[in-house]
Amino acid sequence: MPPLMSGNMSEENAKKSYIAGLKKFKNREFQKSIAFFSQAITQGMPDDDIYLYRSICRTQINDLTGALSDLDHLIQSYPDRPEFRFRKGYVLYKLERFSDAIHEFSAIPDDENQFLIRWHYSCICFYKNGQYDSAMQASEKALEYFSTIPKIWFNAGVVLSAMHREDQALLAFQVAHKLEPQLSEAVRTIIE
């Protein structure tokens, strides 16, 4: 009987740590959230959502390697969940591992509409890799969904310039400037 009580006590402590972590998460106290989430995992919390929350906290405090570890755990358990692929792609993008980020963004089905901003990040990753045709395709996809966001147009102009399509680049820059007049002074480099 004592081992059962010990297991129940540990499970109860894990739940308390998880709840405390969620409260800190809600208050944007990410470092404290991570400590509680880690404690809950150590205490045997069986809920995989805890890895998602901890990865978000780690991304917020720029512990990108830790976030990547949590996301790898989630993808190993749920390889077809687009949210985990998107978040991992974003972390890889932040780590400037552009080819790896492209791989993760590409694993998200084209008809998945929840993470459309991936096209913007894909454009940047392809551009940084010197893959301008692919960057342009991603930029066009981003413009389908975000045609009122100036930096999407601006980045399209940057990519078109890199492709030596100056007339089209100029049009894209003009749209960006119209949407955000301050961009007329911007250096023509990719905006992240």
Buried-state track 30-68, b at ≥16 Cβ within 10 A, e below 16: bebbbbbbebbbebebeeeebbbbbbbbbbeeebbebbb
Instruction: Supply the pTM of this predicted model.
Output: 0.86
Instruction: Give the CATH H-level superfamily of domain 113-192.
Output: Tetratricopeptide repeat domain (1.25.40.10)
Residues in the chain: 192
Spatial contact of 126 and 138, defined as CB atoms under 8 Å apart: yes
Q: Where in the sequence of the chain do the CATH 1.25.40.10 domains occur?
A: 1-79, 113-192
- Please, what is the average pLDDT of the chain? 91
Q: Can you tell me the mean pLDDT for 151-179?
A: 95
At 32, phi and psi to the nearest 5?
-70, -35
Helix (H) or strand (E) holding 182: none
pLDDT the model gives residue 8? 64
pLDDT the model gives residue 46? 77
Q: Can you tell me the mean pLDDT for 132-158?
A: 96
CATH of domain 1-79: 1.25.40.10
For residue 81, the tally of other CB atoms under 10 A from its CB is 15
Q: What's the CA gap between 88 and 69, in Å, rounded?
A: 9
pLDDT tens-digit readout, 82-107: 999 999 999 999 999 999 999 999 99
pLDDT the model gives residue 16? 92
Spatial contact of 163 and 190, defined as CB atoms under 8 Å apart: no
For residue 192, the tally of other CB atoms under 10 A from its CB is 11
Buried-state track 155-188, b at ≥16 Cβ within 10 A, e below 16: bbbbbbbbeebeeebeebbebbbebeeebeebee
- Ramachandran category for residue 67: left, alpha or beta (phi over 0 → left; psi -120 to 50 → alpha): alpha
pLDDT tens-digit readout, 4-26: 334 566 788 889 999 999 999 99
Q: Which amino acid is at 56?
A: I
Q: Which amino acid is at 22?
A: L
Q: Does 28 score more than 70 pLDDT?
A: yes
